[in-house]
Amino acid sequence: MSQGIKRARLLFVCVENAGRSQMAEAFARRKGFEAESAGTMPAMTVNPAVVEAMAEKAFNFSLKRPKMLTMGMIDKAGLVIAMGCSVEKVCPRPMLERMNKKLVDWNLEDPKGKPLPKVRRIRNEIEKRVEELAQSAS
């Protein structure tokens, strides 16, 4: 990937926007990317284990709330990164059609219902992938 990635707005998508996509957005913003996250069927709250795991990396997720994916978010994004939650099965067809040209799937395990040590491993993998994006963009 090129420097165009660094200037492109990143959109991290999963079903509930309660874990993986929230972590990815936070790490991407810390690396200087313009980024947001959203879900196709947002949960009411961010996963408490994710809040705890991200606090260990100096992120305050206590006020974060899952957001609904919109066409506007997709249109503004230069790259859409699915977290591995089969967005093609839950996303409305018009949204999926708009995403397909700029969609990458990271195929990450869902932290929902997992113990903190497992959530940490998922968090660390997300951080590593965002770091790789940042390195490829410089």
Which tens digit of pLDDT belongs to each residue from 78-131? 999 999 876 666 666 666 676 767 888 899 999 999 999 999 999 999 999 999
Put simply, whether the predicted model's pTM sits higher than 0.85 gets the answer: yes
Max CA separation in the chain (angstroms): 38
Smallest CA-to-CA distance from 102 within 76, 85, 79 is with 79
Q: Find the domain containing 97 and state its range.
A: 3-133
Q: Is residue 138 part of a domain?
A: no
Cα(99)–Cα(42) distance, rounded to whole angstroms?
18
Count up the domains in the chain and report the number.
1
Cα(74)–Cα(53) distance, rounded to whole angstroms?
28
Q: Is residue 120 part of a domain?
A: yes
Residue 13 phi/psi, 5-degree rounding, is -125, 135
